[in-house]
Structure 1
Amino acid sequence: MRRLAVLDLDGTLTPDTLGVLLVRELLARGVCEPELGREFMSNVERHHAGCPDFYTSLAEVYQSLGRAAAGVTVSTVERAAEDVWARARGRLFGFVRPLVRMLKSNGFLMALISGGPIELVHLVAYELGIDVYRAAVLDIRNSRYTGRVLQGPGLLGGKPSILRELEVLHHVRLADSLAMGNSASDAEVFRLVGLPVAFEPSEELADLAARHGWRVVDRHDVLRVLPSLLARGAEGEDSHAAR
């Protein structure tokens, strides 16, 4: 069975919130209702401030993203996403590409599970050579967004559900798999894998990491810390195989 490496995106591989950059671009192009775009930005700020709580505020972010995109054509959003990524790709943390190479060389199947819009996430996954990806998906009818949100990975239970899907689809052993993220939604994934890594965690995730003994890293030490963690994971994999 394979080992899976699950990476979060916003705040983990990049300092940006890519969905915010996308809505800003739609506003700049005049294709998004200004009031709905501002509502989305306000909800993102409330979420980052922890108001009223992580999952409630995140649900509001997703709903307002759907409203902001309602009526816009898919081709318009895709072109905007390409332009956003062309600018944002240079802001990936410096460790990201070496990290992906390290994990691939250790035999991991790479997965990007992000709460951001799939129109941007798939561009990131393609550029980094990520094997599989999951992201926020908005409903489309007649080549336009309807305003409905079909999938929000960051919502309660969202990332674990995706992880279970990948476990079956790709014959993955979660006990030998790795996950790295920075927010409370990643904690749900950490509880299912053998190698959880909290990257520059939010206050809530930092508290959980201390309670559960999860490894905490930052952008400066992640490439130094991971090899020893992977070595211990490989030893665990060997012990499973010997049974």
Structure 2
Amino acid sequence: MRRLAVLDLDGTLTPDTLGGLLVRELMARGVCDAAAGREFLATVDGHDPRRQGFHSRIEEVYRSLGRVAAGVSVSSVERTAEEVWAHARGRLFGFVRPLVRMLEAEGFLVALVSGGPLMMVHLVAEDLGIDVYRGAQLAIQRNRYTGEVLQWPSRMGGKPAILRELAELHQACLGQSLAMGNSSSDAELFALVGLPLVFEPSQSLAELAASRGWSRVDRHDVLRVLPALLAGEQGGEGVPSA
């Protein structure tokens, strides 16, 4: 069977929150309702995805995103997203492209699974040569967003459902698959895969990783630690928490 490598995006591959950058630019161009945009940004700024209680508040973030997009043309958002990514792509962590190549060379099917807007996730995936990706999906009618959110990846159970869907679709073995991320929604994945990589975690997530034996990496050591894990040199033991 195949092996999946599921990678988070915001805070894991880039320091940015790409959905926030997109909404700021939509506001600057007068494309979306300014009040809805300010509400979304305030909601996002108040929610740290690495902290406890994230799941209980994430639905507010998604509903706010829906209000921002409601009535806006798909083409306007797509053009804006392309320009946002053209500027933000240079802020990808330096390990990202070598990591993707390493995983593919090891036979993994790399998948980008993010709680951010799908139009941004698509651009990142395309840039990195990743064919499989999922993000927050918004409903479209007559080439405009309706305001309805169809897929909520960061909602509790959201990423595990996507992981199971991908595993079934691509006939992948979860016990031999990998997940890397830094948030509470990613922690749900770590319990399901054989190779969990907890990326630059908060204290609470680091403590959970230590108690579960999940491997811990950061932007400086991931390219060194991962080959050792794949080779079994660490016997499945996690990197000690700070």
TM-score, normalised relative to structure 1: 0.93
Cα RMSD (Å): 1.7
The answer for unaligned runs of 5 or more in structure 2 is 237-242
How many matched pairs? 235
Residue 22 of structure 1: how far off its partner (Å): 0.4
How has the CA–CA distance of structure 1 residues 164 and 75 changed in structure 2, closer, same or farther, with 3 Å as cutoff?
A: same
Contact 2:74 2:145 (C-alpha < 8 Å) held by counterparts: yes
Which AA in structure 1 matches 2:208? L
Q: Which stretch of the first structure deviates more once superposed, 1-10 or 47-56? A: 47-56
Give, as a single letter, the amino acid of the residue that structure 2 aligns with 1:174. L
Question: Within 5 Å, which residues of 2 pair with 1:85-100?
Answer: 85-100=85-100
Cα deviation, 1:73-92, whole Å, max 9, x if unaligned, reads 00000000000000000000
Distance 1:211 1:90 in 2: 36
Question: Quick check: 2:51–2:204 contact (8 Å CA) kept in 1?
Answer: no
- Higher-helix-fraction structure: 1
Q: TM-score, normalised by structure 2?
A: 0.93
Does structure 1 retain, via aligned residues, the 8 Å contact 2:20–2:41?
yes
Given that 1:184 and 1:202 are in contact with CA atoms closer than 8 Å, whether structure 2 keeps it comes out as no
The aligned counterpart of 1:32 is: 32
| Maintained 8 Å contact 2:52/2:204 | no
Q: Matched residues in 1 for 2:185 and 2:50: separation?
A: 13
Structure 2 partner of 1:239: none
The residue that corresponds to 2:73 in the other structure is 73
How has the CA–CA distance of structure 1 residues 102 and 192 changed in structure 2, closer, same or farther, with 3 Å as cutoff? same
Change (3 A) 1:168 1:189: same
- Tell me whether 119-128 or 197-206 shows the greater mean CA deviation: 197-206
Query: How far apart in 2 are the matches of 1:164 and 1:50?
Result: 23
Please state how far the C-alpha of 1:166 moved relative to its aligned partner: 0.6
Q: Which residue of 2 aligns with 1:180?
A: 180
Gaps of 5+ in 1: 237-243
Distance, in Å, in 2 between the alignment partners of 1:51 and 1:229 is 27
In the TM superposition, what is the alpha-carbon distance from 1:125 to its structure 2 partner?
0.5
